Structure 1
Amino acid sequence: MRVLSFGSLNIDYVYRVDGIVRPGETKRVKSRGVYAGGKGLNQSIAMARAGLPVFHAGKVGSDGEFLIKTLRESGVDTHLIAYSGKASGHTIIQVDDEGRNCILLYEGANQDIDEAYIDEVLAAFSRGDYLVVQNEISHVPLIIRKAKACGFTVIMNPSPYTPDIEGYPLQDVDIFILNEIEAEALTGISVPLEALRVLCHRYPHVQVVLTRGDEGALWGRQEDLIHQSAYPVKAVDTTAAGDTFLGYFIAGLVEGLPVSEALDLASRAAALCVTRLGAADSIPWRREVG
C-alpha cells in the first residue's frame, strides 16, 4: 500500500503583523520569512513525518527546486514531480499576534497539470493505494475519476473551496477532511454538527472529518459520530494545522488504528504544529508527537 499526494507546491512568503491589514490600510511588518508550502506539499510532509510511504505528484517552475528538496528531507518520494514553464505557485501570508492568518494564493505551475501527466502518474500505482488531493491544482475532477477507476481509496480536502467543487465527482470520494468554512459552503449550514450530518446523509459511504480549530474535530459516517477535543496550547501560527491534522489522521487509519485513536493522534500533532512558526517547518515528526 502506497500513498499518492497529488497536490500543490508553493513558495510561502510569510509576514508577521500586529493585526491583519484592513482595506485601504498600509501596515509595517514585524518580520518576513520565505518557506516551502502549499497544501499538497504540507500534507505530503505531514504524512511522511507521521511514518507513511508518500509519493508526491505536482509541478514546479524553475524557481521550485528548494520545494522538492524540502519534500525529500522529510522522506517524501519526489521522482514524479515535473517541471513547468510557469513560475511556481506562491502565497502571501499575514500572521497576526494571535496566530491567525490570511492568505493570498498565486497558482502558477499548480495549474499546469494536464491529462497526459495525470495518466503518467497514476500508471505508477495499483489498486488499493491511497490518493490524497486538495483543490489547489488543475483537473482535480479528472484525477479523482481516474484514481477511483484504478481502485484507489480517494481522500479529498476541498480547500480552497470554490463553487465548482459541487460539480466534482464527490461520489467517488471515500474520506472528506474539511473545516467549518468548507462544510458550510458545501451544505449551506453554519452549525458544524448539522453540516456534518448533512454530508454523512448525502454521502452515506464516506467518512467525514470536520476540523474546528481550538474546538477540536468531528468525525462521522452514516449515524456514527465521534467528537475529538483539541489539546490546549498557546498558538503562534495556525498556517499548517489543518494539513498536519490530515496527514496524521490518514497515517493513523493506514496503520490500522481505530478512528478515535487516529483522531487523537492527529489532534496532538496539530497542537504541536501551531506552537511553531511557518508552514512545512512547523509540522512535527512522529517521534515528537509520541
Structure 2
Amino acid sequence: MAIWNLGSINADYVYAVPHIPARGETLAATDRKVFLGGKGANMSVAAARAAAQVNHIGAVGHDGAWAKQRLLEYGVDTRHITTLDTETAHAIIAVDADSENMIILHPGANAKIPQAILQTALSEAQTGDWFITQNETNLQRTGTQLAKKMGLKVGYAAAPFDAERVKAVLEYIDFLILNEVEAAQLKDATGQDAKDLGVADVIVTLGADGADWYSRVGKQHFDAIKVDPVDTTGAGDTFTGYVLAGLDRGLPMEQSINQALKAGALMVTRNGTADVIPDLSEVQAFQR
C-alpha cells in the first residue's frame, strides 16, 4: 500500500539560544543551522525511513528546489510537489538549553497548493491506501473528503491547532493524532473527550509521559522511552510518520506505537528536523 501526504514543506532556521526570548527581549543566538522541515515533510521523511511508500503532495517556491531534492533523496515520491511563484514556507525555531523550543512559521507556498495537484495525485491512489494531512496547508477538508470518498484510510494531525479546522474534518477521518494541550483545546471546543469524537483511532501524545491510544475498545497507555533530550523539534512528526508507516505495512496499532516511541526517543537526542530522522534499522536496533 502507500501513504499520500498533503503536507507542508519548510526551510527550518534553527537558532540555539540560552533561553526562550521574553516579550520585547533581544537575544543573541549561539548557533544557527538550516534544515528541511515542516510537519508534512517531517512526516513524509519519517514514514519513508520506516519503509513505507510515501507520496508527498505540496508546493514550494522557486527558492525551494533544494527541499524537493532533499525529500527525493530521503525516499519520498516528489512528483506531486509543484513550484509556485511565491516563496517557500519557512520557520524560525529557537531552542533553549533545556531543549524546549519556540517556533514562528511563515506559510508561503504551503497555503497556496492548487486543488488540481491534489486531484491529480489522488487519482493514482488505491483503495486502502492512507491519506494524511496536517494544519499547515490549505485543502485539508477537500483532501480528507475526497480521500474518504475514494476508500482511502484518512488520518489528520491536528497541529498547529485550530479547533474549527479539526471539527471540519472529523466526519471524514479514521485516525486523529494530537498532543495533550491540543486534546484539551479540542475538548473545550467540542465538549467531547478523545474517546467520544467518533474517530476510530485517536492518539494523544504526552511528551516524556508517552502516549494514550483511544479506540472502540477503550484506552491504552504507552510509556515513553527515557533518554536525555537535546532538541524536541520534529519528535511528534517523527512519531506520527512511524505510526502511519507501521499501520500501512500491516502492523497492529500497539506495535506501530511502540516502534514510533523508539523513533521519537532517538529523534530528541539529535539536533534538527527532517534531515536527522532515524531510519528503521536504527529504530529496530535501539535498546533502552
TM-score range (shorter-chain normalised) is over 0.9
Q: Counterpart in 1 of 2:89?
A: 89
The answer (yes or no) to whether the contact 2:153–2:174 under 8 Å persists in 1 is: yes
Q: Which of 238, 254, 259 is matched with 1:260 structurally?
A: 254
- State the distance in 2 between where 1:254 and 1:224 align: 22
SS across alignment from 1:266: helix
Q: Give secondary structure in 1 for the equivalent of 2:63.
A: coil
2:194 matches 1:199: yes
Mean alpha-carbon deviation: is it higher for 144-153 or for 43-52? 144-153
Cross-structure match for 2:245 = 251
- Is the Cα contact below 8 Å between 1:201 and 1:222 reproduced in 2? no
Give the aligned length: 284
Q: Is contact 2:4-2:132 (8 Å) kept? A: yes
Two-structure CA RMSD over aligned residues (Å)? 1.6
Alignment of 1:136-151 (within 5 A): 136-151=136-151
Say yes or no: does 1:5 pair with 2:17: no
- Name the residue aligned to 2:17: 17
Which residue of structure 2 lines up, in the alignment, with residue 180 of structure 1? 180
- Higher mean displacement: 211-220 or 246-255: 246-255
> SS where residue 136 of structure 2 aligns?
coil
Q: CA deviation at 1:86?
A: 0.9
> 1:8, 1:65 → 2: CA distance?
14
Residue type of the alignment partner of 2:262 = R
1:72, CA displacement in angstroms? 1.1
What displacement does 1:224 show?
1.7
SS at match of 1:136: coil
Quote the offset at 1:167 in angstroms: 4.1
- Secondary structure of 1:78's counterpart equals strand
Q: With the length of structure 1 as denominator, give the TM-score of the two structures.
A: 0.94
| 8 Å Cα contact 1:52/1:251 also seen in 2 | yes
> For 1:257, what is the secondary structure of its paired residue?
coil
> Which residue matches 2:271?
277
Query: Unpaired segments of 5 or more residues in structure 2?
Result: none
Contact 1:72 1:78 in 2 (8 A): yes
Whichever residue aligns with residue 148 of structure 1, its letter is K
**C-alpha separation in 2, matches of 1:198 and 1:51:** 33
Query: C-alpha offsets along residues 113-155 of structure 1, whole Å, 9 cap, x if unaligned?
Result: 2322221221121221110100100121111111111111001
5 Å-filtered alignment, 1:122-141, equals 122-141=122-141
Aligned to 2:232: 238
Q: Is the 8 A contact 1:240 1:273 kept in 2?
A: yes
**1:125 counterpart letter in structure 2:** A
Distance 1:116 1:77 in 2: 18
| CA–CA distance in structure 1, aligned partners of residues 246 and 119 of structure 2 | 29
CA contact (8 A) 1:240 1:282 kept: no
Residue 12 of structure 1 contacts residue 91 of structure 1 at CA under 8 Å; is this kept in 2? yes
Return the alpha-carbon distance in structure 1 between the equivalents of residues 162 and 52 of structure 2.
30
AA aligned opposite 1:287 = S
In the aligned structure 2, how far is the partner of 1:84 from the partner of 1:283?
Answer: 27
Q: Is the 8 A contact 1:274 1:282 kept in 2?
A: no
Aligned to 1:286: 280
Shift of residue 166, structure 1, vs aligned partner: 4.3
| Identity across matched positions, percent | 40
Map 1:46-65 onto structure 2 (within 5 A). Answer: 46-65=46-65
3-state secondary structure, aligned to 2:43: helix
Q: Which residue identity is paired with 2:236?
A: G
